[in-house]
Amino acid sequence: MSSWWRENRWWLPALPLAVAAMATASSYLLHDYWWIKEPRHEISSAAQGHYVTVTDDYSDYLGTLTHTFQVRLAGVVEVDKVVLDSFELDGPQPTPEGLQSLRVHLDWRADPDQILRGCEVALVDSEGRRYEQVDRHASDACVPPGRGGPEPAAVEGDVREVPDGEDRPPTWSTNPQFLVPQGVEITQVLVWWELPDYVRLDVS
């Protein structure tokens, strides 16, 4: 061994560690700008017709909280009409040409004290394309309308509590609606509260 190699025998193995530390320090924005922007971390999954028990962490103004629930995909069915915007008074409209309107039937079970408002539901087709609800003002996709149970604390001064008369039953169903192009094959339903964690329900 030459004197140079002997002299640097400790620094050479430290070099890849230094490079790794540099790369880590330079990638601190990956979390905020990439990791939490998409559903990337599957926390539970189930086949259609089967309940899956989910325990998931998410955060509100007061900090991190955990909720536990069961969800089952009862089915995905095509319907004739679609509500494009719940704020409009026109009611359901005929499905636009070239598209199909799908209604997802989800069955839920949870203790009434579990906070379940504010979820997102999306469909994924066989090509990996993701579809979200087109109705920007649709009611919450994971709790019954008007009986959503406890609310998270959104801003300073809020408390986690059930608004008057909005106690949630122990079991319920929701039916979020989607528009997708005709001919696509929906293979998955994704449910999430705080990305990147999501629940996958397979369509059969």
Partner 1 sequence: MIGARVFGALAVVATVAAAQLVTARVPVVDLGGGGPFVRSGELGEPVHLSYADVEVTDVRPAQYLGPPDSTALARLAGGVWVVVSVRLSATTKPVSIPNAWLVDPEGREYLTSTRSSCATNLRVSTGVPTYAVFCFDVPPDRLEGMHFRIARGAFETDQTNNDDLADVDLGVSAKDAETWPATTKAYRSVDYALEPLELTEITLTETGS
- Kindly list the residues in this chain that would bind partner 1 in the complex (CB under 8 A): 38, 84, 96, 98-99, 128-132, 134, 136, 179-181, 184
d(CA 75, CA 123): 12
Smallest distance from partner 1 to CB 31, Å: 18
Q: Which is nearer to partner 1, 31 or 137 (CB)?
A: 137
Q: Residues 188, 131, 85, 71: what is their CA dihedral angle, to the nearest 10 degrees?
A: 20
d(CA 17, CA 110): 47
Smallest distance from partner 1 to CB 168, Å: 28
Give the H or E element holding residue 16: helix 11-26
Smallest distance from partner 1 to CB 135, Å: 10
Smallest distance from partner 1 to CB 93, Å: 9
Nearest CA to 106 among 194, 190, 182?
Answer: 190
Q: Which is nearer to partner 1, 38 or 42 (CB)?
A: 38
